[in-house]
Amino acid sequence: MKRYLKPLPEVNGDNKEFWIGCKAHELRFQKCRECGHVRWPPSMICPACHSRETEWIVSSGKGTMYSFVIYHVAFHEGFKDDVPYAVADVELEEGPRLLTNIVDCPHENITCDMPVQVVWEDRTDDFSLPKFRPTAP
C-alpha cells in the first residue's frame, strides 16, 4: 500500500468512541438520555439541556448535503494529487452534521440538499474514514 500522506484522526477522550465505531463501519453519535438531542462533536454534556446522561447510537448513515466546497488548491501536500476535491457538510437523519468528502460523484452534479449515504474508506490498520456518495436511486 502506498504510504498515506494525509493527516489521520487524533484520538482523544471525547472522540475515541466515534473512531472505534468507524473502524467497525458504524457512525456512532452521542444521544442525550434526557432530552433526546443527538450531538456532534462529542462532548461531556448535552449542549441542549446540560444532562450528563448519554448513550451512543449508530446512525443510519443516510443524510442530505447541507453545503460543499471544491478545493482547487492543496493546502497540504497529502492532497496535492487530489485537487480538485470536494469537502462536504452532510446532515445526517439523526440530526448532527459531519464534515466529510463526497466521492463517486462528478463535481458538477453535487447540489445542496441532495440525498447521500456513507461509504467507508479503510485507510490504515487503525482508521476507517466515513465518506459520502449520492444515494442510489
Partner 1 sequence: MGLRDKYAIVGVGYTPQGRVPGRTALSFHVEACANAIADAGLNKKDIDGLMCYRAFPPGAGETPVTPYLVAQHLGLSPTYMSMDANCSRSHIQHAVGMLDSGLCRYVVLSYGHNASSSDSMRRMLLERNGDDAVFGHFGAAAGYALAARRAMHTFRTGPETWKHIAVGQRRWANLNPQAMMHQRTMSFDDYYNSGWVVEPFRLFDNCLISDGGRALVITSAERARDLKHRPVLIIGMGQHNPSCEVHQASHLAGPTGAKKAAETAFGMAGITVDDVDACEIYDCFTYTVEITLQDYGFFGPGEGEDWFKDGTIEPGGRMPVNTSGGQLSEAYYMGLTPLSEAAMQLMGRCGSRQLGPATNTKEPEVILCSDNGGVLQTHTCIILRRS
* Beta-bridge partner residues of 122: 128
**Contact between 66 and partner 1 (CB under 8 A)?**
yes
Radius of gyration of the chain (CA): 16
Binds partner 1 by CB under 8 A, chosen from 34, 53, 113, 122: 113
**Contact between 120 and partner 1 (CB under 8 A)?**
no
Closest distance to partner 1 from the beta carbon of 116 (Å): 14
**Contact between 101 and partner 1 (CB under 8 A)?**
yes
What character string, x for contact with partner 1 (CB under 8 A) and - otherwise, covers 16-55? ------------------------xx--------------
**Contact between 69 and partner 1 (CB under 8 A)?**
yes
Q: Decide: helix, strand or coil at residue 67.
A: strand
Alpha carbons 77 and 98: distance in angstroms, whole number = 23
Alpha carbons 24 and 49: distance in angstroms, whole number = 30
Cβ-proximal residues to 63 (8 Å cutoff; 6+ apart), any chain: 90, 91, 92, 93, 98, 115, 116, 117, 132
**Contact between 63 and partner 1 (CB under 8 A)?**
no
Count Cβ atoms below 10 Å from residue 116 Cβ, excluding itself: 25
Based on CB atoms, which residue is closest to partner 1, 43 or 60? 43
Enumerate binding residues for partner 1 (CB under 8 A). 6-10, 15, 40-41, 66-76, 78-79, 82, 84-85, 87, 89, 96-101, 111-113, 129, 131
